[in-house]
Amino acid sequence: MHQTTPTASKHWLSAIAAAVLLTACGGASQDTPAVQAQAEEGRAKALAAHPSSKYPDHHEFEVELLTPFASTQANGARRFTVNLDYLGAPTGQQLGYRLDLIAPNGQRVHSWSGIEAYQGKPITLNLEWAGRGANATLADGVYEARLVAASADAGEQFANIDALLAHEHEGHGAHEQVSKFVLGAIPKARMPAFKAMPLGSELAQGGEPRRKALAAAATGSWPYTVYYGTLHGQTNDSDGGGALATCSSSQAAQSGQYGPADAYPYAKSKGLDFLANTEHNHYFDGSSSTNTSASPATAKGRYEAGLNTANSFTASNPGFLALYGMEWGVISNGGHLNIFNSDELYAWEYNASNELLGHRYIAKNDYASLYTAMRAAGVVGQFNHPDSSGQFIVNGESLGYTADGDEVMVLAEISNTSAFSNVDNESQVPGGGYESAYRKILEQGFHVAPATNQDNHCANWGSAYTNRTAVLIPNGTALTKASFIEALRARRVFATHDKNSQLVFSANGNIMGSRISNSGVLNLNAGFANSAGRTVSLVEIWEGVPGRKGTMTVLTNNATHSFTPTAGQHVYYAKLTQDDGKILWSAPIWVNQGEAPAGDTTPPTVTASESGSSGTITLSATASDNVGVSKVEFWVDGALKGTVTASPFSMTLDSKTLANGSHNLVAKAFDAAGNSASSTGVSFSISNALAGISETESNNTIATANAVGTATTVTGFMGSTTDKDYFKVSLKTNQKIRVDMVGPTGTDYDVYLVTSTGAGLARSEGATSSETFTYTNTATARTVYIKVQSYSGSSTSQAYTLTVTYP
């Protein structure tokens, strides 16, 4: 790392680092909100002296390379555009770049480099290349434009571009982007026959849904329907929803003109099949920083309202899926990721009364704990605009792998349009993207599919460009949140810059997203279709080794490729470049070579059933396989409830861990070769009987009765302003409870949930005669205690009613 003499402008970095360290040390437990709040206050003061404090979610060095795939001039001349931006960086901060043009033979044919001083707005560099006008001997073929760019630290000055590019800035290395372009005739790759899959409902004239058929070149087709949409956008629930006429950046917290109720009909009108609004999780208190006067009920209520808006729009618009979730984390010393299907708001901020401004506490930048909580809750996520270094740090390692993270992180963005584009005619061409980071994520060992989204902060959800994330749902299965999340878990996804294109990648007949074991020859196949007559110019099949933490390489430029891999773990994905330069990426296929019975690529068959509606219910599966079933997983409403490794495949479940009403059971069977199959979903209902108890307790004693059942009412008495009554509650693993207390009008009470040692877990949101809070247990079953305390009780006994429900 380049060393310079410290300057005054660098002191803010040290202050921020110290404050962040305090946050990390003091904010790791729910039992230390005061320390966490103190750390947040220190960090806020440190940031106040620097412009980046205005942009906690966008203070990141950003690079964009725009490369024309073909030239309009006979000699191949064209303009390359490099955009550099660092929102919130101080005036004069150095940004450096080098762009090299590489011929098919690996020789560098041209280069530009320079150091620019940031002036508070994006820097656009238009780099003109004369093509054969500068070198008549240049051969026809596919060339590469390789961009490397980096930022200096605030106050540092470099006279040499090589030193700046070698410099590590705030934990981040240089950004690298590679784009392809053609000199001479545009090539046409040989593609195998492929019959396009049917498309999801699209908006036609008159508002009626229709099917859009693609030209078919083969007699068979994969048994899936393709749905196109975008999985990253904001509204005025956080820093999005800006009016197109004036929007050019993120909006101040909750100030945008348009909200979720506007976003979903807009996206549907633009032909999208789904839209995910993913709001910054720490904006629900009405501030980009911590609003110490915020009400937890208001913050949680706004998140819950967003969920209700999405659910209502989906219900009234069959064929369109509205999703609502959160973009968790901050850019500085962190990284953004989307959480798509959580009913709870994950938060790290507390108000002045030490009340959590969300449903579930996760310390800022604690990605290992976040992954674990996500897995326990049965939710899935996406790495957003990932950087190759300095983000998603676990145990000191960028993009750090954990088994929990591998389970829940199903997508990673590989390309996006500009987050602050106000274009609504699909003309905002994306830059070089995040493919280098995506490959590193795969080499770390994560099983993620690629996504290309628009990160819309202006009110142009899905209309900035033609790029889409495409999800494959089994034919005959309705597009619902459950079927969509199941497809994401299976990684049946491709990313495309062209909404009229399809890509399916397979290995030995297994579709992209599969994890297979193989012995002998591996047959890879990339299928392509486009409804507008576009063809493929370039095929790349990339190969890597999960967990190697190395570099992926191109295996072949053929759409079909048969070979015998070396023994061990491999990961492959296909990348296609169309004749117009638009790109498609497939989900990977993960291969265990030489570690399974030879030739076993047959998945098991499995059906599911459920018996019982209250008390102890039974989840069962019938599974068979040509070699043998190794295990069956039972999933209820998208959450894993248990795994059985031997026949008979069944397990029991306490009905009180599920809310009353309808639920969905899916059984997933695996064989020894790693093949897997999921059953058709089975609907069942839960009807927990109401079980109430009533008892009078002396003050400061533990109630003898457990609060069990769907609703339990306990009537107690309180005699003075300092007395406390305790009631015992036995919680199951990951069980959620709601506690409501009502006392006499005019008498203030407060309600707490504590452990046997008195450690606080949750509390009501103010001292009034009517109190409510919710709590979700940890991964371990335990007994906790509800404590009721009077703040203004009289000397005479006061009666109150405490109700525990299992929502």
Question: Is residue 197 assigned to a domain?
Answer: no
% residues pLDDT > 70 (the chain): 83
What integer pLDDT is reported at residue 38 of this predicted model?
Answer: 52
Q: Please state, in angstroms and rounded to a whole number, the distance separating the CA atoms of residues 804 and 788.
A: 13
Q: Please count the other Cβ atoms lying within 10 Å of the Cβ belonging to residue 650.
A: 18
Q: Please state, in angstroms and rounded to a whole number, the distance separating the CA atoms of residues 530 and 579.
A: 11
* Helix, strand or coil, per DSSP, at residue 656: helix
Q: What is the mean pLDDT of residues 411-431?
A: 94
Same domain? 407 vs 317: yes
Same domain? 618 vs 578: no
Same domain? 388 vs 507: yes
**Residue 748 belongs to domain spanning:** 711-805
For the chain, the residue count is 807
Question: Is residue 55 assigned to a domain?
Answer: no
Q: What is the mean pLDDT of residues 417-425?
A: 94
> Predicted confidence band at 209 (pLDDT cuts at 50, 70, 90)?
very low
Comparing C-alpha atoms, which of 448, 296, 290 is closest to residue 364? 290
Same domain? 652 vs 540: no
* Helix, strand or coil, per DSSP, at residue 8: helix
Q: 450: Cβ–Cβ under 8 A, 6 or more apart, which residues? A: 411, 412, 413, 414, 438, 493, 494, 495, 573, 585, 586, 587
With beta carbons less than 8 A apart as the criterion, state whether 337 and 320 touch.
no
What integer pLDDT is reported at residue 155 of this predicted model?
Answer: 84
Same domain? 432 vs 552: yes
Per mean pLDDT, which range of 28-32, 86-90, 238-242, 424-428 is the poorest? 28-32
Question: Is residue 32 assigned to a domain?
Answer: yes
Average pLDDT, the chain: 84
What integer pLDDT is reported at residue 5 of this predicted model?
Answer: 28
User: How many structural domains compose the chain?
Assistant: 5
What integer pLDDT is reported at residue 696 of this predicted model?
Answer: 35
Question: Is residue 695 assigned to a domain?
Answer: no
Answer positive or negative: Cα dihedral of 711, 716, 722, 724: negative
Last residue within a domain, chosen from 559, 593, 627: 593
Same domain? 587 vs 613: no
Same domain? 353 vs 400: yes
With beta carbons less than 8 A apart as the criterion, state whether 793 and 716 touch.
no
Q: Is the predicted pLDDT of residue 229 greater than 90, yes or no?
A: yes
What integer pLDDT is reported at residue 760 of this predicted model?
Answer: 79
Q: What is the mean pLDDT of residues 100-112?
A: 96
Q: Encode 533-567: b = buried (16+ Cβ within 10 Å), e = exposed.
A: ebebbbbbbbbbbbeeeeebeebbebbebeeebee
Comparing C-alpha atoms, which of 366, 378, 292 is closest to residue 330? 366
Question: Is residue 484 assigned to a domain?
Answer: no
Same domain? 66 vs 37: no
Question: Is residue 556 assigned to a domain?
Answer: yes
Q: Is the predicted pLDDT of residue 697 greater than 60, yes or no?
A: no
Q: Which residue has the tokens 């070769």?
A: 673
Same domain? 583 vs 656: no
Last residue within a domain, chosen from 116, 151, 183: 183
Q: Please count the other Cβ atoms lying within 10 Å of the Cβ belonging to residue 616.
A: 11
> Predicted confidence band at 799 (pLDDT cuts at 50, 70, 90)?
low
Last residue within a domain, chosen from 635, 652, 686: 686
> Predicted confidence band at 28 (pLDDT cuts at 50, 70, 90)?
very low
Element (H, E) at 266: helix 260-269
Same domain? 681 vs 772: no
CATH number of the domain bearing residue 662: 2.60.40.10
Same domain? 633 vs 777: no
Q: What is the mean pLDDT of residues 648-663?
A: 83
Question: Is residue 645 assigned to a domain?
Answer: yes
* Helix, strand or coil, per DSSP, at residue 194: coil
Q: Is the predicted pLDDT of residue 611 greater than 70, yes or no?
A: yes
Q: Is the predicted pLDDT of residue 166 greater than 80, yes or no?
A: yes
Q: Which residue has the tokens 């590489």?
A: 102
With beta carbons less than 8 A apart as the criterion, state whether 123 and 75 touch.
no
CATH number of the domain bearing residue 729: 2.60.120.380
Question: Is residue 493 assigned to a domain?
Answer: no
What integer pLDDT is reported at residue 753 of this predicted model?
Answer: 84
Answer positive or negative: Cα dihedral of 487, 488, 494, 500: positive
Per mean pLDDT, which range of 43-57, 183-197, 570-584 is the poorest? 43-57
Partners of residue 286 on adjacent β-strands: none
Same domain? 210 vs 132: no
> Predicted confidence band at 780 (pLDDT cuts at 50, 70, 90)?
confident
Per mean pLDDT, which range of 216-230, 342-356, 519-533, 597-611 is the poorest? 216-230
With beta carbons less than 8 A apart as the criterion, state whether 429 and 450 touch.
no
Q: Please state, in angstroms and rounded to a whole number, the distance separating the CA atoms of residues 787 and 702.
A: 9
